[in-house]
Structure formats: structure tokens, C-alpha cells
Amino acid sequence: MNLAHLAAERAAEGRPVRAGLIGAGKFGSMFLSQVPTTPGLEVAAIADLDPDRARQACRGVGWDESLVARTRFLDDGTTLCGEDLDVVIEATGHPAAGVVHALAAIEAGRHVVMVNVEADVLCGAALAERARRAGVVYSMAYGDQPALVSEMVDWARAAGFGVQAAGKGTKYLPAYHEVTPDEVWSHYGMTPDSARAAGMNSQMFNSFLDGTKSAIEAAAIANACGLEPPEDGLAFPPCGVDDLAHVLRPEDVGGQARGRGVVEVVSSLERDGRPVFRDLRWGVYVVLEAPNEYSAACFRQYGLPTDPTRRYAAMYKPFHLIGMELGISVLSAALRHEPTGQTRRFSADAVAVAKRDLVPGDRLDGEGGRTVWGKCIPARRSVEAGALPIGLAHGVALVRPVARGEILTRADVEAIPDGPATRMRDEAAGLLG
């Protein structure tokens, strides 16, 4: 609760926290919009495949020309990691690139804020271990849902509550798993022309709709918080904020949660398409378990919605501001040497599932594409089956047929080229938790 004070002290001393940003897309731009009004924080360098586009992004979020002129713009993220920085922010969204940049930053002795959840779920346990050995912080990005859930889970445990379930909300129907980028805009109430005019990427937005992004974020939450994913993937139960404790209590006491200490994503739509009352589409939650009868009585006395047993209650945050909150991670890493959420074990994975019957020669197009969607399953099951991570399911061709709805394995596709991402993935697989 004194982070702003610590940052203000650095500003007064004339030595602000120096951050470097890799990837000036939507998330990065939201962060950049807050930098001029955050005392004690400066972005000294920005790397983007198109540096001119990055300059325009800065101007578009309100930077004046003097601030743009003081910032180094580069076209290579690895080069940025060698700059005089305190913290490197990886915001490309590309899993293989994210791994390369994180390793370069760690080797250079820089703290890493990993906006790139795709890279984190692919091999975050191994990256976090590398960072620990190097004496630097490897952190999730505050403002993104996995970090916000991690904060709520940490709060609950530090206050002495049991954590029955935690996760986020989304808009979900089972049919969404097979939606392709060609069909996505009708589900958002837009036309392809209006989306194109707004510069919106159909494959990226489709990853939010088809369940892939939820699988990735749920896996990140499980790996950071020591929670368990459902054995056969997220159930996406329809649930509003008033019913979280009722729906997500364990099955053996009348709920829908498959076990105790689980991660789950709740839907803002009933299965017939009707909106859920007081939905949590944009927010995050934690379901608490009272450790004793006195605590359970306090739940009721202080107005928390509880389940019928009155032992379970829920806390939630209805919205998140994504990149606009990212500065909290940067300042926490540099000034407190603490992450805002961090992968601590490899307990959940996001694996590729066929959207349609696939045949040899079909080339996978990754997250949000036309061929596969991502499912969150236990890492143990993924490793035992040799499942293909969604983060590696791009640009590789099938060598065996895979039926619609089946999980792909690495034996189903041609050999994936060796590189930092595949090597770190194999390293993470050795850290099963």
C-alpha cells in the first residue's frame, strides 16, 4: 500500500524506474497511456517490429513530442534487453518470441513482467526458475486477470481462509469452440468492415471467444496459485456474482466444482443464450471456505452471499483495466522485488484440440485460428499423453488424422523445429507440480 510513495521518492531523487516495452499493441498502448502520469516511472525504450507504428502509438495515447524524443525506439526485442533498464515488459503475445525475450532479459539481469500469458503457460515454471537463479523477478502482469486472481487468492490465504475455487468470467457457449476468424465478428455484434476499420484482429478476438484465451489464463492461474484444473477441461458453468459460492462449492456438498481448490471460468450466458443475471464477464473471483463456525457466522453478519451450508462465500472484482494497471507490476518488481503473481509450478497446461476433422497435410494456425482451440487440463495428463501445447500449434503440419474434438499430440504433427521455446517447454515438463 506504499507503492506510489516509493515511486514518488524515486522521482524526487531524479532516478525513476526505467522500463523497456517489447510490443506496442493494445496492451502496451494502454500501459503507455498511464506512464506520463505515474511519477517515478519512465519508459526508456520501446521495441516493436514497426518502430514508426510504436511512435504513433505513443502519440495516440497522449505522449507529447518531448517524451517521444527522449525514448529509444528499436525493431528488436532482444536488443532492448541489453539497454540500461530496470524492468523488461514482454507484450508481444507471441509465445516463442516471449521465451526468447524473457531469457535475454534474465541473462542481462533485468526483471521481467510477462504480459505474454501464452509464453508463460508454455514454459513459465522454467522461466521463473531461471529468474530465481539469476536473482531477478519474473512476474505476471497486473491488470490482466491471472495476476488479479493471484492477488485475491494470496489475500484469502493470508487472512486464514480456505480457497475453494478461483477464476474469471467470460462469454461462453459450447458452440463457440468451433468458431473461426471468418465468423467471429457476428458474435461481437460487428461487421467485418467495421472491425477492419477499427484495426481489430479477427484471430486474436476469436481466441477470446473460442475458449482458448480462457484456457490459457486458467492454466496460468492454476500454476501461480497451486489450484487444480478440471481433469477434462473447464466446465464454464453459467453463474452470476450472487451465486458464485453456491455454484462453485464442491460437488459433494451440492455444488458444481469438481473437487476442492480448483480453477474455473464462469459464463455470462445461460446455455440457451440468455444473459446471466449480474454476470462476471469482465471480472475475477475467489470462493472462500470458512475455517470454523465463527468465521462462517461472520460471513453472514457482514453481508457476504453464501451457499446454503453458509461455509462458502465469494469475493469478486467486477472489472479489470488490463494494460492501464500494468505499472503496478513494473514498480513492484523494481522497488519491492516482488512479483504480482508468478508461475510457481507446472500443474496446468493449455493444449490444442481439433476444431474439425483434421487430415495429414493440414497446417495448424494456432490460437484463435481455423484448426484448433485451447483446452486447460492437468499438466500431468498433458505430459503423459504427449499433448501438443497450444503455444506450439502454429505453422506445423499434421502427419496423422485427428478427429474433431480430440486433443492433438506431438506425434500427430511434423517435428517442431528446435529452439528456445521447445527447450524451455521440455525443461518446464520436468517441473511437474
CATH class of 348-429: alpha beta
Q: What is the largest CA-CA distance in the chain?
A: 63
pLDDT at 141 over 90: yes
**In the predicted structure, residue 83 carries a pLDDT above the cut 90:** yes
How, if at all, do strands 284-289 and 262-267 pair? unpaired
pLDDT at residue 194 is higher than 90: no
Q: Domain-by-domain residue ranges, the chain?
A: 3-143+323-336, 146-172+211-320, 348-429
Which pLDDT band, with edges at 50, 70 and 90, does 402 fall under? Answer: very high
Average pLDDT over the chain, rounded to whole? 96
Phi, psi of 260 (to 5 degrees): -115, 145
pLDDT score for 198: 67
User: Each residue of 198-217: pLDDT tens digit?
Assistant: 667 899 999 999 999 999 99
Task: Name the nearest CA neighbour of 57 among 97, 21, 16.
Answer: 21
Cα within 13 Å of Cα(15), Cβ side: 7
Backbone phi, psi, residue 329, to 5°: -65, -40
Quick one: pLDDT at residue 199?
Answer: 67
- Please tell me the predicted confidence (pLDDT) of residue 197: 74
Q: Which of 192-201, 216-225, 240-249, 373-382 comes out lowest in average pLDDT?
A: 192-201
> Cα separations (Å) of 4 from 34, 179, 326, 412?
13, 43, 13, 51
Per residue in 100-122, pLDDT tens? 999 999 999 999 999 999 999 99
Q: Does residue 433 surpass a pLDDT of 90?
A: no
In angstroms, the CA 243 to CA 245 distance is: 6
212-225 and 145-158 helices cross at what angle (nearest 10)? 30
- Cα distance between residue 53 and residue 242, in whole Å: 44
What fold characterizes domain 3-143+323-336?
Rossmann fold (3.40.50)
Strand partners, 113: 89, 139
Flag whether pLDDT at 282 surpasses 80.
yes
> If DSSP codes are grouped into helix, strand and coil, which group holds residue 284?
strand
DSSP for 338-392, written as a single string: --SS---SB-EEEEEEESS-B-TT-EEE-TTSSSEEEEEEEHHHHHHHTB-BGGG
pLDDT at residue 329, as a whole number? 98
Dist CA 294 CA 331 (whole Å): 38
Give the C-alpha separation, 81 to 109, whole Å: 9
Tell me which of 433 and 249 has the higher pLDDT: 249
Q: Radius of gyration over alpha carbons of the chain, in Å?
A: 21
What is the distance between the alpha carbons of residues 148 and 1, in angstroms, rounded to a whole number?
Answer: 16
Predicted pLDDT of residue 388: 98
Q: Which secondary structure element, helix H or strand E, spans residue 422, and what is its range?
A: helix 420-429
Q: State the cell numbers at 133.
A: 537463479
With residue 224 as reference, give the H or E element that holds it. Answer: helix 212-225
